[in-house]
């Protein structure tokens, strides 16, 4: 109810905590989410100026609601009193959000929102035309705005750490560098062994798969995994994403008639995000008890479903007959082993979202290292395309032929989402750590998948991850669920176990 939160171990009345005010800010924010979703899915191409103005107005309204002095006063009163564990979580996170918002001037918030909308359209146009110089001024302004924001929040000397913390509280560039270094040490030799293997997967086997049939299969699969289409939907966008809340979850994918696995695995990935949002306790909407624990945890959910589950033999034992039924011509001369090898193809690619899961993390390391250089100031925006090409040659052994398949390929920088990319790799680490822990606790789990039953895994994730809300951050949640610190060793173990045998390089 609007007048309070009541759960098994929490009772917080609005006479003490401004729950209704927190919820009001939450719902205003969801309106902005829908505008953003519509912008990438339905907005007419020449309507960007009005949408930018709409974003600006909504950001202004949201900022005014978040910075309501009554929230600050009530939080101060609560902080001086005695609180239960969940009450402390609500107050602590509300204070974090409130302080951040009140230190940002309203005109700055408005300017940033409007620039983000204009920048997205500039990026989309520049990407289509392979014209990085046209986008460069927008990215330069994003960097200026990012450093201003960090300074407002007292992080003028460490702006990049400020942004990392926004996505994964408690993480720093130094800590991520250590994790990535250990991962890279184990990963690069595996990639080289697979590249030298005589076993070669073919992703070009599945040509001529009608988009209409792909849509049918994709929706059947995602519903079977547990996505609730009465509280969500899936559409098409230039760059796949998932947005919204558990009450209204919007996913997108993109289709290629000659590569049905692209849309399918992308949709399973977004379904992992959607399942997390739908698993957050809606009765606590607007508070930290119903908010995700950060993007690293969010990515662990999407990557676990996409990779450990969606690329596994048990999953395809169940779904392959239906796949053959929907694509009889494309599958006529493709054996089950050829299909499985195609699903788990390891082949360096220039495009991150199309990357196999063995080399995917190298794409993240590339972006992380370039972002650090941008924020340190030893790389100018104008030099970014050349730096990207150099890093791509070094890490992937490939050089982009143009900026569309290089520096312009990702949507993130168009919105000023710096510090986001590391979350993908951190999520891969946590996904593998959760996976092995779940296998130990849930005997016969993969036998469930072979029968088309994913309920036990989803139920375990609901309890161990989703229901916790924002009570624990990435590092604390990892310790609480698995009993260990976050480590890349399980990701390296998983990749070796699945791919070394498949490619005969054990």
Q: Tell me the DSSP string of 475-489.
A: HHHHHHHHSS---TH
Q: Is 335 exposed, middle or buried (0-12, 13-18, 19+ CB in 10 A)?
A: exposed
- Radius of gyration of the chain measured on its C-alpha atoms: 23
Structure tokens at 90: 């609500």
Measured distance CA(377)–CA(445) in Å, rounded: 49
Task: For residue 309, give the DSSP letter.
Answer: I
Q: Is 148 exposed, middle or buried (0-12, 13-18, 19+ CB in 10 A)?
A: middle
Burial class of residue 150 in the structure, from the number of CB atoms within 10 Å of its CB (0-12 exposed, 13-18 middle, 19+ buried)? buried
DSSP state of 485: -
In angstroms, how far is CA 149 from the centroid of its own chain? 23
Residue 166: the pLDDT is 93
Pairing, β 248-253 against β 242-245: antiparallel
Which among 424, 166, 400, 177 has a CA at the least distance from the CA of 304?
Answer: 424
C-alpha torsion sign, points 456, 168, 171, 391: positive
- Residue 261 in tokens: 């696995």
pLDDT of residue 325: 98
Positions annotated as catalytic residues are 270
Q: Is 5 exposed, middle or buried (0-12, 13-18, 19+ CB in 10 A)?
A: buried
- C-alpha to C-alpha distance for 252 and 234, rounded to whole angstroms: 5
Count CB atoms within 10 A of the CB of residue 399.
13
Ordered per-residue pLDDT tens for the chain, 506 residues: 333 333 333 344 433 456 788 899 999 999 999 999 999 999 998 998 999 899 989 988 999 999 999 999 989 998 998 888 998 999 999 999 999 889 999 899 889 989 998 999 999 999 999 999 999 999 999 999 999 999 999 999 999 999 999 999 989 999 999 999 999 999 989 988 998 999 999 878 899 999 999 999 999 999 999 999 999 999 998 878 999 998 999 999 999 999 999 999 999 999 999 999 999 999 999 999 999 999 999 999 999 999 999 999 999 999 999 999 999 999 999 999 999 999 999 988 999 988 899 999 999 999 999 999 999 999 999 999 999 999 999 898 899 999 999 999 999 999 999 999 999 999 999 999 999 999 999 999 999 999 999 999 999 999 999 999 999 999 999 999 999 999 999 999 999 999 999 999 97
d(CA 352, CA 371): 16
From the list 86, 291, 51, 54, the residue with the least C-alpha distance to 169 is 291
Cβ neighbours of 447 (radius 10 Å): 11
Chain center to CA of 434: 17
CB 455 within 8 A of CB 309: no
- Max alpha carbon distance in the chain (Å)? 71
Phi then psi for 431, rounded to 5 degrees?
-60, -45
Give the pLDDT score at 6: 38
The token pair that represents 129 in the structure block = 């035309």
At 484, give phi and psi (nearest 5°): -135, 165
Quick check: 266 and 253 in contact, CB under 8 A? yes
The whole-angstrom separation of Cα 306 and Cα 222 is 11
Tell me the C-alpha distance between 5 and 229, whole Å. Answer: 27
Q: How far is residue 177 from each of residues 214, 364, 366, 425, 426, measured CA to CA in Å?
A: 39, 12, 12, 11, 11
| pLDDT of 18 | 66
């Amino acid at each position: 109810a609007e007048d309070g939160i009541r759960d098994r171990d929490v009772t917080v009345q609005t006479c003490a905590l401004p729950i209704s005010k927190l919820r009001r800010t939450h719902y205003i924010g969801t309106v902005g989410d829908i505008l953003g979703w519509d912008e990438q899915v339905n907005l007419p191409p020449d309507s960007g100026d009005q949408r930018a103005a709409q974003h600006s107005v909504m950001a202004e309204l949201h900022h005014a609601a978040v910075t309501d002095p009554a929230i600050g006063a009530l939080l101060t009163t609560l902080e001086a009193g005695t609180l239960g564990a969940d009450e402390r979580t609500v107050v602590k996170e509300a204070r974090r959000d409130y302080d951040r918002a009140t230190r940002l001037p309203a005109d700055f918030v408005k300017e940033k929102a409007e620039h983000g909308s204009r920048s997205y359209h500039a990026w989309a146009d520049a990407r289509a035309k392979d014209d990085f110089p046209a986008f460069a001024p927008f990215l330069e302004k994003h960097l200026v705005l990012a450093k201003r924001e960090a300074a407002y929040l007292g992080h003028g000397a460490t702006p990049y750490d400020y942004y990392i913390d926004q996505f994964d509280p408690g993480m720093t560039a130094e800590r991520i560098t250590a994790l990535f270094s250990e991962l890279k040490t184990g990963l690069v030799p595996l990639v080289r062994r697979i590249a030298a293997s005589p076993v070669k997967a073919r992703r070009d086997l599945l040509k001529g798969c009608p988009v209409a049939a792909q849509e049918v299969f994709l929706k059947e699969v995602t519903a079977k995994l547990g996505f609730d289409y009465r509280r969500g939907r899936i559409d098409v966008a230039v760059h796949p994403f998932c947005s919204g809340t558990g009450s209204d979850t919007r996913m997108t994918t993109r289709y290629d008639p000659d590569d049905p696995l692209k849309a399918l695995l992308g949709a399973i990935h977004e379904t992992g995000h959607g399942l997390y949002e739908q698993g957050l306790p809606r009765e606590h909407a607007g508070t930290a008890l119903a908010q995700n624990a950060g993007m690293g945890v969010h990515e662990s959910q999407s990557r676990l479903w996409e990779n450990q589950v969606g690329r596994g033999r048990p999953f395809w034992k169940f779904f392959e007959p239906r796949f053959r039924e929907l694509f009889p011509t494309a599958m006529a001369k493709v054996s089950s082993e050829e299909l499985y090898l195609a699903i788990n193809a390891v082949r360096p690619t220039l495009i991150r979202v199309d990357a196999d899961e063995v080399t995917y993390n190298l794409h993240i390391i590339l972006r992380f290292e370039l972002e650090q250089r941008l924020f340190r100031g030893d790389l100018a925006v104008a030099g970014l395309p050349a730096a990207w090409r150099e890093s791509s040659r070094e890490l992937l052994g490939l050089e982009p032929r143009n900026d569309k398949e290089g520096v312009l390929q990702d949507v993130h920088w168009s919105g000023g989402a710096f510090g986001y990319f590391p979350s993908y790799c951190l999520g891969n680490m946590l996904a593998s750590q959760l996976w092995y822990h779940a296998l130990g606790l849930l005997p016969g789990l993969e036998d469930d998948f072979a029968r088309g039953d994913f309920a036990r895994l989803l139920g375990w994730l609901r309890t161990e991850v989703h229901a916790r809300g924002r009570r624990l951050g990435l590092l604390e949640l990892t310790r609480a669920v698995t009993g260990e610190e976050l480590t890349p060793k399980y990701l390296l173990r998983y990749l070796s176990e699945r791919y070394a045998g498949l490619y005969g390089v054990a």
